[in-house]
Structure 1
Amino acid sequence: MAKDSHYSADFKHEWRKHEKALYLAKTKPQMVEVPAFKFITVKAGYEAFSECVAALYSLAYGLKMNLKKMANVPAGYTDYTVYPLEGLWDINEQAKKSFTGTINKDDLVYTLMIRQPDFIDESLFNEIKALVEVKKPSPRLSSVSFETLSEGPCIQMLHLGPFEDEPLSFSQMKNFAENEGLNRISKMHREIYLTDARRVSPEKYKTVLRFQVEPKAIA
């Protein structure tokens, strides 16, 4: 595997330092180009949210720690900080058909994910997943997949505060898109959780919000 320019054996890759444009968003909307990245993903429901998050982190840290022990590491390998939890949010097909502008929580469908370094491939993922399933069994581990996802042109913004207040930030993002001559592609959006909701109060939550855009069609 060719060595990727994002990674080097000379330093520990820390996303907070080396990928600020994608993860340390500003509190005002901005354009960003998001290339294809690798993720471990799991489709979740509210009743299993915590179990799915635990399964993702078990695999994310399993990959990180087992790589440090390997005699023959992948090309381009360096130690790294585990990426933050992300969520890809959408509404179900029935809700899309009757959408009125207001989203009901019961209509939400989502996928949880944690990004992986470029030097990790599906073969290595499957190898470590089998080890983790033995050492830390979880009914949700079998549902975790390895995917490559691309977003392309997006508008993103750092939302500060409770999740319930996100519509205020999305409104700013929508106005920004219109002023830039852009259309939001779909109701789907991404959330990147920079704070742990179990450890901080809602007013201190930091969440990157992002949705895909495209130029408006010329009449």
Structure 2
Amino acid sequence: MEGYFDYIVPPLEGFWWQEGIGEIDFSDKAGFRWISVIRLPDFVTEEEFGWALNETASKKQLDLSDVRFLRIDEGLCVQCLHTGPYDLEPETIREMDAFARGMGYEPDFKNGRHHHEIYLSDPRRTAPEKLKTVIRHPIRQKQD
């Protein structure tokens, strides 16, 4: 099995936020802004990424001008595995927030820190009630 894990593509991830508000208002889906990412192995450099991007754009005749190499340091977070439809995520998030608050933490959606989802299931092939999504929220110690 040598080399087997060299070809596994990590899951799609999404960072979600709404302009001008601290936390997330899940009732206002039209107000969401987002970016999608796929984690790269740590050994991939920005230069190698740029080379691969240029080669792909050239050979496949694709406009990849919006594709970026990002380094994201999320800092302290609370996370949970949500199982079920995306529309029921707010229930899981309420439980996450209650847990974090009970441990002496509070949400920290400032300075570019966002609601983060890691999609472990393919919604095209998985029944909504069986979808698995890791939800991650930035937190900080409660400030009195």
- Which runs of 5 or more residues in structure 2 are unaligned? none
Q: Alpha-carbon deviation of 1:101?
A: 5.3
Q: Alpha-carbon deviation of 1:121?
A: 0.7
Q: Secondary structure at the match of 1:133?
A: helix
1:210 matched to 2:133? The reply is no
Q: Kindly tell me the number of residue pairs found equivalent between the two proteins.
A: 141
Which residue number in structure 2 is paired with residue 132 of structure 1?
56
Which residue number in structure 2 is paired with residue 108 of structure 1?
32
Task: Give the direction of change, closer, same or farther, for the CA distance of 1:13–1:146 in structure 2 (3 Å limit).
Answer: farther
Q: Secondary structure at the match of 1:176?
A: helix
Which deviations, in whole Å up to 9, do the C-alpha atoms of 1:25-57 show, x marking residues without a partner?
A: xxxxxxxxxxxxxxxxxxxxxxxxxxxxxxxxx
1:72-91 equivalences in 2 (<5 Å):
79-91=6-18
Aligned letter for 1:163? Y
When the two chains are superposed, the root-mean-square deviation of aligned CA atoms in Å is 2.2
CA distance in 2, matches of 1:87, 1:150: 15
Native 8 Å contact 2:14 2:36 kept in 1: yes
Alignment TM-score, normalising by the size of structure 1: 0.59
Which deviations, in whole Å up to 9, do the C-alpha atoms of 1:126-170 show, x marking residues without a partner?
A: 11111111232333x221000110012111001111100000100
Q: 2:80 aligns with which of 157, 162, 180?
A: 157
Alignment TM-score, normalising by the size of structure 2: 0.88
Q: 1:184 aligns with which of 107, 121, 133?
A: 107
Q: Secondary structure at the match of 2:55?
A: helix
Which deviations, in whole Å up to 9, do the C-alpha atoms of 1:48-71 show, x marking residues without a partner?
A: xxxxxxxxxxxxxxxxxxxxxxxx
Aligned letter for 2:128? P
Q: Secondary structure at the match of 2:49?
A: helix
Quick one: percent identity of the two aligned structures?
38
Aligned letter for 1:90? W
1:200 matched to 2:122? The reply is no
Q: Secondary structure at the match of 1:167?
A: helix
Which runs of at least 4 in structure 1 moved beyond 6 Å after TM superposition? none
Q: 1:145 aligns with which of 61, 68, 76?
A: 68
Which deviations, in whole Å up to 9, do the C-alpha atoms of 1:77-117 show, x marking residues without a partner?
A: xx242111000010122xx28x8955401110011000001
Higher percent of residues as helix: 1
CA distance in 1, matches of 2:107, 2:14: 18
CA distance in 2, matches of 1:84, 1:91: 23
Q: Secondary structure at the match of 1:146?
A: coil
Which deviations, in whole Å up to 9, do the C-alpha atoms of 1:160-199 show, x marking residues without a partner?
A: 1110000010010010011000011018210000011112
